[in-house]
């Protein structure tokens, strides 16, 4: 909805602006035109005054000369004695020389009837001599008023001239008229070449002199019958046909008089006129207003251009400002956005931080709990082991103690009864039980071993041979075949403790094979990296799967009461670890158990 409305507004504003511009332009043009016209008028007025002054000066030069020449004796002589050819000749020559001197066109003398008797152009083809000019106003006025002036086209010479007339007086009054004719062409020529047209019109409005040749003898006022009649009477323009100039008078923008010429030129002139009463004519200066129009248009164009430039500059400045403002707004928006994003990210980071801190606290608490639980478990394990051990120990010791108590009571009864020999047998049994308990306590002492007791380089074959020797009678008694396949390896170990381990494992094997038919033990060894690997395999029943994990536990034994303490493997396991080795068990593929012992080699090949 907003777009059409704004477009309508835009076109309205543009229309208004256009109307304003046109109005201003028209007003401006009128003012400029008026100013230019005023300017032209001012300059025209000075031209007019100059032209008038020049004409006046020219005419005044001859003003009194006619009267002066009329008094000359040579002139008066001609009219005093008509028919005297000598006097005529004298007068002719005088008039010729005077005309040259005065730069007058012609000077001539007429009788009272108007007939020319002597003339400066007596020797010219169109001589005035004999010509009658009684009809000319200058002739009539000279006789009537003592002075005559007239301008006209010469009836004889066909040359325009200004005529000054003065009466020639004899003793009995006027005898004739002397006339001086001056050529106006020279004055007219002087006006040519300026920017203005200068015309001189007679009282009937007919152009007599003009810088524009076509206008000469043209009428600036309608040629009414009266005007034609008055002109005809004086024969001012001889036989020249008069015509109306194709002009219309108008009032200019500044109220001054204008002449508009019809026809191809269509020129328009500002008309300035001044009447010259002495000469009885009007001098007019015509200024072509095209210049004023041109000037007004040029100034208007320059003004419009300047205004356009100013508007353009204003628009550019405005646009720049707008663009700058827009850019600043964009920057501010971008900054605000950035700040918002930073704030958001900061808030997010703070939230993440808080979460992390919470997690860390939780984890710390969990770890704390775990550690506590672990400690509890260890404690519980220790207590369990201790309980297990206490139960086993109390069982192990209570049995022989109970038996020893029975034997002792029996022995006392037997002694009381005097059966000393029987009592001795009981005492032997008690001693046997005590021996067993000693054995037990000796084994237990091994738990309190010093794990870091001195180790030494032990050739592996030595403890094997010692164990073999110790168990020799048992092997022989049970018919067990022992094979030893051991290379000369030297290991780091305690020789006595290693022998103890071997004795334990070998005696367990002998025990296990009590009920088997084939009884054999194979001892093999080899080097593997830095370690010596020793295996002891028997042909017994092997170790049931479910028991394998427990056979290294202290007091675990499957042997009947009084036979096994269940400490052998447990102690052996610990000894092997003390050496930096290990003890493990597996079942052989056929039957029988395989114990694997590893021990660090004293020397090894890198």
**Cβ within 8 Å of residue 259, ≥6 positions away:** 220, 247, 248, 249, 250, 268, 269, 271, 286
* Dist CA 132 CA 44 (whole Å): 42
Q: Which of 111, 218, 463, 568 binds ligand ADP (CB under 6 A)?
A: 568
- Strands of 64-189 (E only): list them: 106-111, 116-119, 148-153, 160-170, 173-183
537 part of the interface to ligand ADP, by CB under 6 A? no
79 part of the interface to ligand ADP, by CB under 6 A? no
Q: Which of 468, 508, 539, 598 binds ligand ADP (CB under 6 A)?
A: 508
Identify any residues that bridge with 596 across adjacent strands, giving them in sequence order.
535, 584
In this structure, the number of other CB atoms found within 10 A of the CB of residue 377 comes to 12
259 part of the interface to ligand ADP, by CB under 6 A? no
Angle at 582 between CA 577 and CA 588, to 5 degrees: 150
Q: Which of 105, 499, 557, 598 binds ligand ADP (CB under 6 A)?
A: 557
62 part of the interface to ligand ADP, by CB under 6 A? no
Q: Checking DSSP bridges between strand 481-485 and strand 520-528, what pairing results, if any?
A: parallel
- The DSSP secondary-structure symbol of 289 reads T
Piece in contact with ligand ADP (CB under 6 A), picked from 101-109, 191-199, 488-496, 555-563: 555-563
* Dist CA 237 CA 208 (whole Å): 9
Q: What is the nearest approach in angstroms of ligand ADP to the Cβ of residue 455?
A: 24
Q: What is the nearest approach in angstroms of ligand ADP to the Cβ of residue 556?
A: 6
Q: What is the nearest approach in angstroms of ligand ADP to the Cβ of residue 544?
A: 9
Q: What is the nearest approach in angstroms of ligand ADP to the Cβ of residue 483?
A: 16
Q: Which residues of 510-524 are buried (b: 16+ CB within 10 A; e: fewer)?
A: bbbbeeeeebbbbbe
Report whether 523 contacts 484 (CB < 8 A): yes
540 part of the interface to ligand ADP, by CB under 6 A? yes
156 part of the interface to ligand ADP, by CB under 6 A? no
From 453, 557, 529, 436, select the one nearest 495 (Cα to Cα): 453
If the CB atoms of residues 234 and 446 are measured against ligand ADP, the closer one turns out to be 446
Q: What is the nearest approach in angstroms of ligand ADP to the Cβ of residue 558?
A: 3
Q: Which of 51, 458, 569, 599 binds ligand ADP (CB under 6 A)?
A: 569
The closest residue (CB) to ligand ADP is: 564
Strand (E) or helix (H) holding 282: strand 281-288
| H-only helix segments in 453-581 | 461-470, 472-478, 495-512, 568-578
Q: Which of 140, 502, 509, 532 binds ligand ADP (CB under 6 A)?
A: 509
576 part of the interface to ligand ADP, by CB under 6 A? no
- Range 512-531, binding ligand ADP (CB under 6 A): 512
Q: Which residues of 251-280 are buried (b: 16+ CB within 10 A; e: fewer)?
A: ebbbebebbebeeeeebbbbbbeeeeeebe
If the CB atoms of residues 502 and 569 are measured against ligand ADP, the closer one turns out to be 569
Identify any residues that bridge with 173 across adjacent strands, giving them in sequence order.
170
Q: What is the nearest approach in angstroms of ligand ADP to the Cβ of residue 542?
A: 6
566 part of the interface to ligand ADP, by CB under 6 A? yes
Piece in contact with ligand ADP (CB under 6 A), picked from 158-166, 463-471, 489-497, 535-543: 535-543
Q: What is the nearest approach in angstroms of ligand ADP to the Cβ of residue 549?
A: 12
Neighbour order of strands in the sheet with 281-288: 207-210, 196-201, 281-288, 268-276, 257-261, 247-251
What x-and-dash track marks residues 458-497 binding ligand ADP by CB under 6 A?
Answer: ----------------------------------------
Q: Which of 122, 556, 573, 579 binds ligand ADP (CB under 6 A)?
A: 556
559 part of the interface to ligand ADP, by CB under 6 A? yes
Its sign, for the CA torsion 120, 123, 127, 128, is: positive
Binding residues for ligand ADP (CB under 6 A): 504, 508-509, 512, 538, 540, 543, 551, 556-559, 564-570, 593
């Amino acid at each position: 909805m907003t777009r059409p409305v704004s477009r309508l507004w835009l076109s309205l504003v543009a229309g208004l602006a256009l109307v304003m511009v046109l109005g201003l332009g028209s007003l401006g043009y009128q003012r400029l035109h008026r100013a230019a016209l005023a300017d032209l008028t001012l300059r025209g007025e000075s031209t007019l005054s100059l032209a008038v002054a020049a004409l006046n000066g020219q005419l005044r030069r001859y003003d009194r000369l006619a009267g002066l020449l009329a008094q000359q004796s040579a002139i008066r002589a001609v009219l005093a004695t008509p028919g005297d050819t000598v006097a005529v000749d004298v007068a002719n020559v005088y008039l010729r020389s005077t005309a040259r001197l005065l730069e007058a066109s012609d000077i001539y003398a007429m009788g009272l009837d108007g007939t020319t008797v002597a003339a400066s152009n007596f020797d010219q083809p169109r001589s005035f001599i004999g010509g009658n000019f009684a009809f000319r106003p200058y002739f009539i006025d000279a006789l009537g008023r003592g002075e005559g002036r007239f301008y006209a086209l010469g009836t004889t010479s066909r040359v325009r001239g200004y005529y000054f007339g003065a009466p020639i007086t004899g003793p009995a009054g006027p005898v004739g008229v002397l006339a001086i004719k001056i050529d106006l062409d020279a004055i007219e020529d002087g006006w040519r070449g300026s920017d203005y047209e200068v015309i001189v019109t007679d009282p009937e409005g007919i152009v007599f002199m003009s810088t524009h040749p076509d206008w000469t003898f043209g009428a600036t006022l309608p040629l009414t019958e009266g005007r034609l009649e008055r002109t005809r009477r004086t024969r001012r323009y001889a036989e020249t046909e008069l015509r109306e100039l194709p002009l219309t008078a108008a009032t200019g923008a500044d109220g001054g008089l204008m002449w508009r010429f019809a026809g191809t030129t269509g020129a328009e002139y500002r008309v300035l006129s001044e009447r010259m009463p002495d000469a009885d004519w009007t001098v007019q200066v015509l200024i072509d207003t095209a210049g004023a129009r041109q000037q007004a248009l040029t100034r208007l164009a320059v003004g419009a251009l300047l205004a356009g430039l100013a508007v353009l500059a204003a628009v550019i400045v405005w646009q720049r400002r707008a663009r700058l403002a827009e850019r600043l707004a964009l920057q501010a928006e971008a900054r605000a956005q950035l700040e918002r994003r930073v704030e958001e990210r900061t808030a997010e980071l703070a939230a993440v931080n808080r979460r992390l801190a919470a997690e860390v606290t939780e984890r710390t608490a969990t770890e704390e709990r775990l550690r506590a639980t672990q400690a509890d478990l260890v404690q519980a394990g220790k207590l369990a082991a201790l309980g297990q051990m206490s139960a086993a120990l109390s069982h192990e010791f209570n049995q022989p103690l109970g038996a020893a108590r029975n034997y002792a009571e029996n022995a006392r009864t037997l002694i009381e009864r005097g059966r000393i020999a029987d009592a001795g047998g009981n005492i032997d049994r008690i001693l046997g039980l005590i021996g067993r308990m000693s054995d037990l306590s000796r084994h237990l002492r091994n738990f309190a071993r010093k794990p870091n007791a001195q180790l030494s380089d032990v050739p592996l074959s030595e403890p094997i041979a010692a164990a073999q020797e110790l168990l020799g009678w048992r092997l022989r008694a049970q018919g067990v075949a022992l094979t030893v396949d051991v290379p000369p390896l030297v290991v780091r170990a305690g020789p006595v403790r290693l022998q103890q381990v071997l004795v334990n494992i070998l005696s367990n094997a002998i025990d296990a094979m009590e009920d088997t038919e084939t009884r054999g033990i194979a001892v093999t060894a080899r080097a593997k990296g830095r370690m010596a690997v020793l295996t002891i395999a028997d042909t017994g029943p092997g170790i049931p799967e479910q028991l394998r994990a427990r056979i290294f536990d202290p007091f675990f034994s499957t042997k009947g009461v009084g036979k096994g303490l269940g400490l052998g493997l447990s102690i052996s396991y610990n000894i092997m670890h003390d050496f930096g080795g290990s003890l493990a068990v597996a079942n052989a593929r056929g039957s029988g158990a395989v114990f694997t012992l590893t021990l660090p080699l004293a020397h090894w090949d890198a």
